[in-house]
Amino acid sequence: MAHRHYYTTNKGDSWVKVSGVQQAKAFGFGKALGSSTYPAVYINGQINGQWGIWRSGNQGTTWDLVSIYPAGIYDSVSTVNGDMNIAGRVYVGLGGNGYVYGDSSATGSEGTPVATPSPLPNSKLLSPWQDGDIGAVGQTGSATYTNSTFTVNSSGTDIWNGSDQFNYAYQHLNGDGTIVARVASMQNTDSWAKAGVMIRETLNVDASYADMVITPGHGANFQWRATTGGTDAYTPGSAVSAPYWVKLTRAGNTLTGYTSTDGSSWTQEGSVTIAMANSVYIGLAVTAHNNSALNSATFDNVTVSDSAAQAASAATAPAIDGSSSDAVWSTAASYTLANTLGSPSGFSASYQSAWDKTNLYVLVKVQDASYAAHADLVELYLDPTYDVGTAYDSRDMQYQFPSNSTTVTQYSGGQKGTNTTGITFANQAVSGGYQVEIAIPWSTLGVTPAAHMSFGLDLDVWQDFGSGVKNKVIWHANADTDWNNPSVFGSVTLQGS
| CATH number for 201 | 2.60.120.200
Last residue of a domain, one of 100, 119, 138: 119
Specify whether 259 is located in the same domain as 375. Answer: no
Segments of the chain scoring below 50 in pLDDT? 1, 70-75, 96-98, 105-123
Residue 124 covered by a domain: no
Q: What is the pLDDT of residues 400-445, one digit of tens each?
A: 999 999 999 999 988 999 999 999 999 999 999 999 999 999 999 9
Check whether residue 143 and residue 192 sit in a common domain: yes
- Domains of the chain: total: 3
Domain limits for position 428: 309-494
Q: Clarify whether residues 350 and 450 are in a common domain.
A: yes
**Boundary-marking domain end, from 240, 274, 306:** 306
> Are both 54 and 175 inside the same structural domain?
no
Which three-class secondary structure string do you get for the chain? CCCCCEECCCCCCCCEECCCEEEEEEEEEECCCCCCCCCEEEEEEEECCEEEEEEECCCCCCCEEEEECCCHHHHCCCEEEECCCCCCCEEEECCCCCEEEECCCCCCCCCCCCCCCEECCCCCCCCCCEEEEECCCCCCCEEEEECCEEEEEECCCCEECCEECEEEEEEEEECCEEEEEEEEECCCCCCCCEEEEEEECCCCCCCCEEEEEECCCCCEEEEEECCCCCCEEEEECCCCCCCEEEEEEEECCEEEEEEECCCCCEEEEEEEECCCCCEEEEEEEEECCCCCCCEEEEEEEEEEEECCEEEEECCCCCCCCCCCCCHHHHCCCCEECCEEECCCCCEEEEEEEEECCCEEEEEEEEEECCHHHCCCEEEEEEECCCCCCCCCCCCCEEEEEECCCCCCEEEECCEEECCCCCCEEEEEEECCEEEEEEEEEHHHHCCCCCCCCEEEEEEEEECCHHHCCCCEEECCCCCCCCCCCHHHCEEEEECCC
Q: What is the CATH number of the domain that holds 354?
A: 2.60.40.1190
Residue 59's pLDDT is 81
The reported pLDDT for the residue numbered 221 is 97
Judgement on whether residues 162 and 283 belong to the same structural domain of the protein: yes
pLDDT for the residue 147:
82
Single residue among 288, 306, 324 that ends a domain in this structure: 306
